[in-house]
Amino acid sequence: MRVLLVEDDEPIAESLTRGLSRYGFEVRWVRTGAEALAAEDFALALVDLGLPDVDGLDVCRELRARGDVPIIVISARSDEVDRVVGLEIGADDYVTKPFGVREVVARMRAVLRRVQPAQAEPEAHGRVRIDRRGRRVHLDGGEVELTPKEFDLLAFLAEDPGAVFTREQIMEAVWDENWFGPTKTLDVHVGVLRRKLGDAASLETVRGVGFRLVLP
């Protein structure tokens, strides 16, 4: 999913871009309001309020006037007035700096769920159905018993079927944001999912890189 990041602070933008890409988001980073308003084809916008050319609130207002794309304000300004104004002019949520990538991703997912209620419906992937809200998986109509981590792993890979996720991306998204240890537990979970899903889905090993989920 493509995300527009409007942020003039380079270290913040770089760490957020890196962090979000680990969660499978494709980030288009721009530094100014003008560039933000020229950008196209993104599914969600993260907008800093303190921009070099215009007020970030004006960017939010203009994006909202153009359509329904979800907007999350990211700002060092923590005062209540900005928060209220931001939400009043149509931003969907507000995150105050400093923040962790995990918090931003959680807000993004929550906002996307709210604006795209269709996604709350179980996703059909061939014979496999994934109900993210109920955290249940059905195979040929029968429920597959999965542990929480097995579910998280399958749900993460199923966000972009066919795409390769690195072991690090998976470990950080499913287990812990700061995972530096061995990834044996990942192989164990992949093995269990393969057994439970049988030939309805294949978790392919991409040697030296990671895994991809292929759904026939």
Q: Look-up: residue for tokens 């209620």?
A: 117
Does position 50 interact with Ca ion (CB under 5 A)? The reply is yes
Neighbours of 145 (CB within 10 A): 10
SS3 137: strand
Does position 216 interact with Ca ion (CB under 5 A)? The reply is no
- What is the distance between the alpha carbons of residues 69 and 148, in angstroms, rounded to a whole number? 31
Does position 8 interact with Ca ion (CB under 5 A)? The reply is yes
Would you say 8 or 177 has its CB closer to Ca ion?
Answer: 8
Structure token pair of residue 191: 């093995």
- Is residue 141 within 8 A of residue 153, CB to CB? The reply is no
Residue choice 3, 22, 25, 48 for contact with Ca ion (CB under 5 A): 48
Please provide the distance, in angstroms rounded to a whole number, between the alpha carbons at the two ends of the chain: 22
Does position 131 interact with Ca ion (CB under 5 A)? The reply is no
Would you say 19 or 33 has its CB closer to Ca ion?
Answer: 33
Q: How far is the CB of 87 from Ca ion (least distance, A)?
A: 19
Segment lying near Ca ion (by CB under 5 A), choices 2-10, 27-35, 154-162, 164-172: 2-10
Q: Using CB under 5 A, list all residues that contact Ca ion.
A: 8-9, 48, 50
